[in-house]
A and B are shown apart, each in its own frame.
Chain A
């Protein structure tokens, strides 16, 4: 990881620690991205340490404590900070445990689909010719599939479970990676240094690992991060529709679905699991946005220029738009 990331940052000769320090300092300048990363780390910690943090068993029902509002409302108590649901289960504990399904599915799908997509993309881009046009035709066709609808049909036939979900989402989401990787491989192969490496007789394996993979790292990282948010939203939607995570397991989407019948009397039941999804996806988006810009020197310069221009404009009392100057 460290060796690959240096390729996107200028001349980090002085080793990984200073690089990481500079990276953190630069991140700190972009407050939303820094907060995003912090929230992501918190959510990951929450998922890992769920049994230690959660005050209750997420499945423990309590008929005497049904539909309790959050603590700060009349009728609420700090025994259930975020209230309880229609079966008296603690909302906070369910939110904490729910992060597990989201992250597990998100990470596994990105890993599976990403690995498969990158391999296919490398293959198509490197082999070129017939193989390439065949593989890309396949990608084109699968991209035109009616996504979630087909997933719903498949899941309803096979039977819903977390494993089904991971497999089906991975099988339907590898194409982005393949396209991206193939495009990069095609353009990198035309550069002089790869041609030179091939001319002097480097084996394909060496060419791929030494010359092509480093160029892939940052774009693939960006795609993978963005795909992660798509998968989280897809998982939530499918679970909400009842074809994803099945009870007694918990998932934020599933909890929102269960709370649907109570929206007239207990708004908190849909609010907190929903906010958890928003917080996760938003944090990842904020961080991904920053990674994309920071990995690209040109974008970096543009970002700086815009900030300067905006500062100057504010100082000048905000006149003159760009093109009319």
Chain B
């Protein structure tokens, strides 16, 4: 579990957006780390802060949003502050790469696939045009696109959605990065294509020894691919555990609710359960645990914010209830406030 020398460490990261209605607290004290070759799944419903996390790592949080607290470190060096931003620019696209949710809008509609692929290697690896084209062909072949030489001259609108996502992946792995962030890479695609794209990511991970952060709202996707899973709710990580542990013994009531509402082919259930209510407004979050208003097992302690605590083997969760269940004697809870 605790692998030596993590690639990326995110610590107590806070991001907020200023809107007409007030300040939106998009990320609150988000911490995680990922090591070489590891796959981390980040799961949550829309608005939970998954994508903002990815954008923060990629330096894509724009005004009116801003990182207002915490730290991010790539191989031990901070990515924040003036010095850190410069360092960040030198590694993004090269050592850390990202695949976006919607391949329809993530490719420039007016430039050829070739141009968009070549510009990455030309910039980061200093390849010439000719070398870059050769490399681009290899990359397209590697992500399973047929007739790569012909594709290079085509424009995005001539390709299907699945093809475009393959191109996005080719672009991301062009410089053989150490970490690939995939932000809902299959959401915009047909179901049949979804599996292919996930297989491709898994295959590339094996081949290239990539670390992958897979962001998704689909627990089924996570189950097959990830070593570890972080569950996000209302801009916080509420549970983080080894994938096996999380699926067999979810600790947080929200995770339990998510699992119950995920359809499964293995188990015949009478009906899917849904989680009552809606996520809280990030503008003016309720005090204490953000899940409290929807939580079936909430009690008086939940008016205080629970800390992350190791409540199950191989994982931790931020939940008073889970903590009491795990440690009925309440040995250490006196210090929590």
Residues of B47-89 whose CB lies within 8 A of A: 59, 61-64, 66, 82, 85, 89
Q: Assess whether B20 is interfacial by the CB under 8 Å rule.
A: yes
Check A322/B64 contact, CB under 8 A, given A301-B20, A304-B19, A304-B20.
no
Check A308/B85 contact, CB under 8 A, given A300-B20, A301-B20, A325-B59.
no
How many chain B residues touch the partner (CB < 8 A)?
Answer: 12
Q: Are A312 and B66 in contact (CB under 8 A)?
A: yes
Q: Are A308 and B64 in contact (CB under 8 A)?
A: yes
Q: Are A325 and B62 in contact (CB under 8 A)?
A: yes
Residues of B within 8 A of A322 (CB): 62-63
Contact indicator per residue, chain A 113-154, by CB within 8 Å of chain B (1) or not (0): 000000000000000000000000000000000000000000
Q: Are B59 and A301 in contact (CB under 8 A)?
A: no
Q: Assess whether B18 is interfacial by the CB under 8 Å rule.
A: yes
Q: Assess whether A305 is interfacial by the CB under 8 Å rule.
A: yes
Contact indicator per residue, chain A 274-318, by CB within 8 Å of chain B (1) or not (0): 000000000000000000000000001100110011001100000
Most buried by A among B61, B63, B82, B89: B63
Residues of B within 8 A of A158 (CB): none
Residue of A nearest to B60 (CB): A325
Residue of A nearest to B63 (CB): A309
Shortest Cβ distance from B201 into chain A, in angstroms? 28
Residue of B nearest to A297 (CB): B20
Chain A interface residue count: which class? 10 to 19
**Total of A-B residue pairs, C-beta within 8 Å:** 30
Q: Are A305 and B64 in contact (CB under 8 A)?
A: yes
Distance between Cα atoms of A322 and B63 in the complex (Å): 8
Contact indicator per residue, chain B 17-61, by CB within 8 Å of chain A (1) or not (0): 011100000000000000000000000000000000000000101
Shortest Cβ distance from A182 into chain B, in angstroms? 26
Shortest Cβ distance from A314 into chain B, in angstroms? 12
Q: Assess whether A320 is interfacial by the CB under 8 Å rule.
A: yes
Residues of B within 8 A of A325 (CB): 59, 61-63, 85
Distance between Cα atoms of A309 and B18 in the complex (Å): 9
Residues of B81-139 whose CB lies within 8 A of A: 82, 85, 89
Shortest Cβ distance from B19 into chain A, in angstroms? 7
Shortest Cβ distance from B334 into chain A, in angstroms? 42
Distance between Cα atoms of A226 and B63 in the complex (Å): 31
Shortest Cβ distance from B235 into chain A, in angstroms? 19
Q: Are A312 and B63 in contact (CB under 8 A)?
A: yes
Shortest Cβ distance from B56 into chain A, in angstroms? 11
Distance between Cα atoms of A305 and B89 in the complex (Å): 25
Q: Are B18 and A305 in contact (CB under 8 A)?
A: yes
Residue of B nearest to A312 (CB): B63
Distance between Cα atoms of A305 and B85 in the complex (Å): 23
Q: Which residue from B64, B82, B89 sits with its C-beta under 8 Å from A309?
A: B64
Residues of B268-309 whose CB lies within 8 A of A: none
**What 10 A-B pairs have minimum CB-CB distances, sorted nearest first?**
A309-B63, A305-B64, A304-B20, A308-B18, A308-B64, A309-B64, A301-B20, A322-B62, A312-B63, A325-B62
Taking A305-B19, A325-B62 as known contacts, 5 extra A-B pairs with beta carbons closer than 8 A to each other, sorted by chain A number, are A301-B19, A304-B64, A305-B18, A308-B18, A312-B64
Partner-A contacts on B (CB < 8 A): 18-20, 59, 61-64, 66, 82, 85, 89
Partner-B contacts on A (CB < 8 A): 300-301, 304-305, 308-309, 312-313, 319-320, 322, 324-325
Can you list 19 A-B contacts (CB < 8 A)?
A300-B20, A301-B19, A301-B20, A304-B20, A305-B19, A305-B64, A308-B18, A308-B63, A309-B63, A309-B64, A312-B18, A312-B64, A313-B63, A320-B85, A324-B89, A325-B59, A325-B62, A325-B63, A325-B85
